[in-house]
């Protein structure tokens, strides 16, 4: 599977400055930017994702841009700077997604319980990483799952055969503690969307993540 820098993973929210925030996040060290803006049409999501990909790669060619849920939009943009898609439990089966997008696409899958993490192991040959949350309750997305909390991640990390990204009201203040639990990355929505300086915010997330990894070495 493709090696990803998941330490700071920006999931976009809604707002007029999404493209500029994505650009700043990538410049600050965000390794993955997932374009999520609901509810908008497929055509609007296509245009937004294309603009994000162009802006991100202008400042950080190594950063990967993914589309949330919409495999069709991701497929349409695979030769225009989008690297893949992140899908949920109710979206297309990940094996079908892999067939559609091809061997080089990045595919992420939402989980959040031990049962779902173990189920993801069964498709580890086609999935690149899993999102795992919610870390704590968040208004951004109601998954219906109980919050995992800091103490819940070590068991999930140990059970997963795939890189695991914590999500769910994660902030820069949580970066050190969550990284110390063994997660491979942190998905952040509101922290970056509301930051006065998104680039500096992402740089802090990466620095705190690295600090925890060095302390554990």
Q: What is the pTM of this model?
A: 0.96
Crossing angle for the helix pair 198-216 and 18-27, to the nearest 10 degrees: 40
Is the dihedral angle over the CA atoms 113, 115, 121, 126 positive or is it negative? negative
Please identify every stretch of the chain with a pLDDT value under 70, giving residue numbers as ranges: 1-2, 140-142
* Predicted local distance difference test score (pLDDT) of residue 44: 96
Domain ranges of the chain: 8-216
pLDDT single digits (tens) 77-108? 999 999 999 999 999 999 999 999 999 999 99
Strands (E), 139-217: 164-167, 185-188
In the CATH scheme, what is the code of domain 8-216?
Answer: 3.20.20.70
* Predicted local distance difference test score (pLDDT) of residue 6: 98
- Count of H helices and E strands in the chain? 9, 8
* Predicted local distance difference test score (pLDDT) of residue 145: 83
Q: Which helix (H) or strand (E) holds 84?
A: strand 82-87
Is the dihedral angle over the CA atoms 146, 149, 154, 157 positive or is it negative? positive
* Predicted local distance difference test score (pLDDT) of residue 138: 77
* Predicted local distance difference test score (pLDDT) of residue 61: 96
């Amino acid at each position: 599977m493709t090696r990803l820098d998941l330490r700071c993973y920006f999931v976009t929210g809604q707002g007029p400055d999404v493209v500029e925030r994505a650009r700043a996040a990538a410049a600050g060290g965000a390794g993955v930017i997932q374009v999520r803006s609901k509810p908008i049409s497929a055509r609007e999501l296509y245009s937004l994702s294309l603009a994000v990909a162009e802006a991100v790669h202008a400042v950080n060619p190594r950063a990967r841009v993914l589309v949330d849920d919409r495999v069709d939009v991701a497929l349409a943009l695979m030769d225009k700077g989008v690297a893949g898609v992140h899908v949920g439990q109710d979206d297309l089966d990940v094996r079908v997604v892999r067939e559609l997008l091809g061997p080089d696409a990045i595919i992420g899958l939402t989980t959040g319980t031990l049962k779902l993490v173990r189920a993801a192991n069964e498709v580890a040959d086609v999935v690149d990483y899993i999102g795992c949350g919610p870390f704590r309750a968040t208004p951004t997305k109601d998954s219906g799952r109980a919050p995992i909390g800091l103490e819940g991640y070590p068991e999930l990390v140990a059970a997963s055969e795939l890189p695991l990204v914590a999500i769910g009201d994660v902030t820069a203040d949580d970066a050190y503690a969550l990284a110390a639990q063994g997660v491979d990355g942190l998905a952040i929505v509101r922290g970056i969307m509301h930051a006065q300086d998104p680039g500096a915010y992402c740089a802090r997330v990466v620095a705190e993540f690295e600090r925890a990894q060095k302390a554990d070495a």
